[in-house]
Structure 1
């Protein structure tokens, strides 16, 4: 391996990176074809080559790394796009993608994430489905904190920096539904309504509601296609976007009322943002309830009713705590209607989740869990 490294050091950065990618394809492809057991892993020396010549983290601190120019980096991204598009074997694509972008807990991880964000963004722009499918697997198996980082990059590229680019992202749903399911889960983790900056952009909200209204089953793709015996790493994203979307529907009226309070306190006029998107959140809430009913059919068919909690009680308890704190902060204001709407949505969703087997707890346990909340019109909470 030292001979390979010395040969790579004599090349220009783009040529060296292409050679490492070729080396990965040959070595891992051959290992996968001859292996009958678990997926083969990378040797430490190969990982070091990837880090040094693709992500430019020098093995030797005394050697100045050869940095790519912006043009060279774009060329490398195009080479990667072409490689994943032309590789006909999905297993090899997945293992190469994992070899490149699985986080190692070292200083190369920041470079990995920067390259990954650019590659997935490019794959969306030019509709490279194989890369999106690999990214979907990455989002499923990586710690949620890194998934949120990737989601932020994509939201910056397609919602913030060039708002009209959202139409390009919107078209990806029919090309790679599995990627879109994982992306929804990631963006609901990103936009948690903890501040105005972490409120879903209007264009994103409209796009997601359109996706889900057209095909509610989209939200269950990861769950349905994940083997029951597979063990996902601790801290990864939820198995469905349902909890995140429920959080959006419940917290939206409270968060927009909070924004109104801040605007009035700072001497600004009232924002029309809340009322403008009430209908979208109502549609989203209805879709979430419909998906719980679809989920019941799947759980019943797989004999999983009462055995598998899709909404963990701990996660529901955390949501109830968040809602309770928001309600307390809004109580002095004439916010009764907004609070009541949030509580009614929470009550409806939890009732349906329990009835369909997605939430495993008794009605009394739920009352205890929600005891800090104000009373709601449905009499199910507080």
Structure 2
């Protein structure tokens, strides 16, 4: 069927019915034993632009308005329904990447962000899995990925703490999405932004800590389960969130104040009706961990993940040596500030805690063969950090083994 015939058949439908029909036409064009031809890809893009996102009119001219908010929600519902009904992972990812793979449009990115946020709310595995593949193929540190992830964080991880239990289940229903999501999140926070350290919201930190602590293999999920990509597609390298989380946990002591324990609130009292008398029983209230303790718990979870991620065959792919080395300038900057204030580096508890955590992470990662890249350069760079007994011992041990 020619492009003109396809368009003629789709113009019999009004929106949103035309968008629903267009998805199946695109599936017929792109799914087969061999990779689609350039002509098939061009036809698919034309159909997507006119009948799904309504970016062009029937003459191919750009529309100024596009979809209104109601139509956006209708389209999101259609895409979600299509993905949920699709039983073949390759087909699902092929269609999803054809819709959102070329992200030169802020309108598309807005629709995708709403779709991802709604999938998080509903814990919709088919949609979340497709978004996870999209994050991987776009690159978790790409501007588009960071914008999508920031939108999800705004919707679910700032002020709303009532949905924590449902958010915690995401690691079970969509582990590959969660792994790539965390990788992108570590790019958003704990990096210097014009001299200001942007810290993750506590609710987000709590959920990520719960995810990684409860499932030591989570950070490797995207590597352990390769994405089912379109025929002929080039898979992008999977970047685990481990290097970013090591960064978080190591730098946290320098920027997070230790929380002083305050008097515990009075326990809640409930009345239990008995046959003869009413008994008053104290029920202890659950107490959330302070931020500093959350980073400590997350650090322990990361070390466990590195241990579980021990290399059994092939080259290590979990942690990039260059990403670990990116910690060093931040620690050196803090050290220089201490020296200017006349503080001895070996006496600063925060700095020594930071160096201890770096040493622990480096030791576990190297001992379990999780680090790839130029390890010799990493050890040399670590050797420029302030004096720390544990770190110096670890550096010396591994320099001798190279």
Q: 1:327 and 1:115, CA in 2 relative to 1: closer, same or farther beyond 3 A? A: farther
Quote the residue 1:95 is aligned against.
94
For residues 39 and 225 of structure 1, the distance between their equivalents in structure 2, rounded to whole angstroms, comes to 25
Give the stretch that moved more between structures: 187-196 or 2-11.
2-11
1:69-108 alignment, distance < 5 Å: 69-103=68-102, 106=104
* Alpha-carbon distance between aligned partners in 2 of 1:308 and 1:175, rounded to the nearest angstrom: 27
1:129 and 2:143 matched: no
Change (3 A) 1:140 1:364: closer
Trace 1:3-152 onto structure 2 (pairs within 5 A): 3-5=5-7, 12-28=14-30, 31-32=31-32, 35=33, 37-38=34-35, 42-58=40-56, 64-65=63-64, 67-103=66-102, 106=104, 109-143=105-139, 144-145=141-142, 146-152=144-150
Question: Structure 2-normalised TM-score?
Answer: 0.76
Q: Which runs of 5+ in 2 are unaligned?
A: 228-232, 258-288, 397-402
Q: Which residue of 1 aligns with 2:241?
A: 241
C-alpha RMSD over aligned residues: 3.0
- Aligned counterparts of 2:95 and 2:61: Cα–Cα separation in 1: 30
C-alpha spacing 1:330/1:61, structure 2 compared with 1 (3 Å): farther
- Give the aligned partner of residue 203 of structure 2: 203
The alignment partner of 2:383 has SS state of coil
Q: 1:102 to 1:326 in 2, by over 3 A?
A: farther
1:252-271 superposed matches below 5 A: 252-256=252-256
Q: 1:159 aligns with which of 153, 157, 160?
A: 157
Q: How many angstroms does 1:158 deviate by?
A: 0.3
Contact residue 136 and residue 179 of structure 1 kept, 8 A: yes
Compared CA separation, residues 135 and 316, structure 1 to 2 (3 A): same
Q: In the alignment, is the contact (CA less than 8 A) between 1:295 and 1:356 conserved in 2?
A: yes
1:311–1:358 CA contact under 8 A, matched in 2? yes
User: Cα 1:52–1:357, aligned 2, differ >3 Å: closer, same or farther?
Assistant: same
In the alignment, structure 1 segments of 5+ residues that lack a partner are 258-274
Higher share of residues assigned strand: 2
TM-score (structure 1 length as normaliser): 0.80
Displacement of 1:361 = 7.7
Report the Cα offset of residue 342 of structure 1. Answer: 0.8
Across the two proteins, how many residue pairs are aligned to each other? 346
Deviations 1:7-59 (A, max 9, x none): 6568644333233223223333xx32xx1x44777521321221233334336
Q: Decide which of 315, 330, 337 is 2:323's aligned counterpart.
A: 315
| Corresponding residue for residue 370 of structure 2 | 358
Contact 1:103 1:112 survives alignment (8 Å): no
| CA distance in structure 1 between the partners assigned to 2:124 and 2:208 by the alignment | 21
Shift of 1:156: 0.6
The farther-off stretch of 121-130 and 322-331 is: 322-331
- Max radius of gyration: which structure? 2
Query: What secondary structure is seen at the aligned counterpart in 1 of 2:162?
Result: helix
Aligned with residue 290 of structure 1, among 300, 304, 326: 304
**For residues 177 and 249 of structure 1, do their structure 2 counterparts lie closer, same or farther at Cα, with a shift above 3 Å needed?**
same
Q: Deviations over 1:217-250 (max 9, x none)?
A: 11121222249xx9644xx6x5211101101101
Structure in which a larger fraction of residues adopt helix: 1
